[in-house]
């Protein structure tokens, strides 16, 4: 824990920056969780403590190494062309862009993931911490929690709630400006492996077993209307194959199982 060592690298950096801001109890535990406390302003010592939380990992679906942040200043409301990969971002694809006219839009250069999920949440909490530590603005005790492995559904597994010591908490991981969510889904991960037998295709009669074809049959058999994220909405659960790799001898399919009803996850896995 965590699943990748690089998450601890970021945790160590955040601890150092928090200490430099004067947050004296900042530390990272052996599992890669960062804890810190912004003291209350005078007179607010007896008020409930509020936690602000964000996760440090980014999506495993695309590389987040060597990110080159690209600033699009005074956004004009039109298409955004990334420097690499021929990628074009349009307001039609990403509706919230319509509200961003005149702002500075930050993207990657197109060769990597930007990782705003959830670097944006981390940045918001760090900025709030800096402002509160430098100002006389009245505030209650602010508890800070940065977690690893949210993207693989394990972000809350080893949180020490007693040490955290918060009465209320907010996760800074929203999708659009002004959104507030008061519930979330439960999730599991699944890896489905197909193993075949390879041989020269010229001599493959009754010898070759193609794992790629078996994986294709499997994917084609998944329910398309009630299980797919592209055909469900709201609180409807889904099973989402998001990565496939391999060849004739072996294919691995990585999947996400999600539902607002935790009891759904076991039947999903059983049907898989």
Q: Which residues of 107-128 are buried (b: 16+ CB within 10 A; e: fewer)?
A: bbbbebbbbebbbbbbebbbeb
Our answer to whether residue 226 is catalytic in this structure is no
Please state the φ and ψ torsions of residue 229, each to the nearest 5 degrees.
-65, -25
Our answer to whether residue 263 is catalytic in this structure is no
Q: Is the pLDDT of residue 153 over 90?
A: no
Query: What are the extents of the domains in the chain?
Result: 6-60+115-171, 70-107, 186-271
> If pLDDT is split at 50, 70 and 90, which confidence band does 64 have?
confident
Among residues of the chain, what percentage have pLDDT more than 70?
A: 100
**Considering just the CA atoms, what is the radius of gyration of the chain in Å?**
23
Among the ranges given (15-19, 74-78, 174-178, 212-216), the one the predictor scored with the smallest mean pLDDT: 174-178
Give the mean pLDDT of 104-117. Answer: 94
Is omega for the bond preceding 2 within 30 degrees of 0, making it cis?
A: yes
Give the mean pLDDT of 90-117. Answer: 93
What are the residue ranges of helices labelled H in 166-206?
Answer: none
Give domain 6-60+115-171's CATH number out of 2.40.33.10, 3.30.70.100, 3.40.50.300, 3.40.630.10: 3.40.630.10
58 touches 119 (CB < 8 A): yes
Selected catalytic residue, list 149, 150, 173, 264: 150
Q: Tell me the whole-structure pTM to 2 decimals.
A: 0.81
pLDDT tens digits, 72-95: 999 999 999 999 999 999 999 988
pLDDT tens digits, 179-214: 888 888 888 889 999 999 999 999 999 999 999 999
Architecture of domain 186-271: 2-Layer Sandwich (3.30)
Average pLDDT of the chain? 93
Selected catalytic residue, list 57, 117, 173, 188: 57
pLDDT tens digits, 158-168: 999 999 999 99
């Amino acid at each position: 824990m965590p699943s990748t060592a690089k998450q601890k690298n970021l945790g160590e950096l955040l601890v150092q920056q928090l200490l430099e801001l004067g947050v004296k109890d900042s530390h990272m535990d052996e599992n890669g969780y960062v804890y810190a406390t912004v003291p209350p302003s005078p007179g607010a010592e007896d008020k409930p403590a509020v936690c602000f939380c964000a996760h440090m990992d980014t999506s495993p679906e695309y590389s987040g190494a060597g990110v080159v942040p690209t600033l699009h200043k005074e956004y004009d409301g039109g298409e955004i062309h990334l420097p690499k990969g021929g990628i074009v971002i349009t307001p039609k694809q990403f509706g919230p862009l319509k509200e961003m006219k005149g702002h500075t839009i930050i993207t990657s250069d197109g060769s990597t993931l930007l990782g705003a999920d959830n670097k944006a949440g981390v940045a918001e909490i760090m900025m709030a911490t800096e402002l509160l530590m430098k100002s006389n603005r009245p505030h209650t005790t602010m508890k800070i929690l940065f977690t690893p492995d949210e993207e693989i559904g394990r972000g809350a597994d080893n949180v020490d709630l007693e040490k955290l010591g918060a009465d209320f908490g907010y996760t800074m991981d929203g999708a659009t400006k002004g959104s507030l969510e008061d519930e979330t889904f439960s999730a599991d991960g699944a890896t489905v492996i197909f193993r075949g037998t390879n041989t020269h295709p010229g001599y493959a009669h009754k010898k070759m077993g193609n794992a790629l074809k078996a994986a294709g049959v499997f994917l084609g058999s998944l329910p398309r209307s009630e299980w797919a994220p592209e055909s469900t909405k709201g609180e409807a659960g889904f099973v989402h194959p998001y990565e496939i790799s391999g060849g004739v001898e072996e294919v691995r399919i990585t999947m996400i199982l999600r539902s607002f009803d935790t009891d759904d996850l076991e039947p999903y896995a059983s049907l898989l």
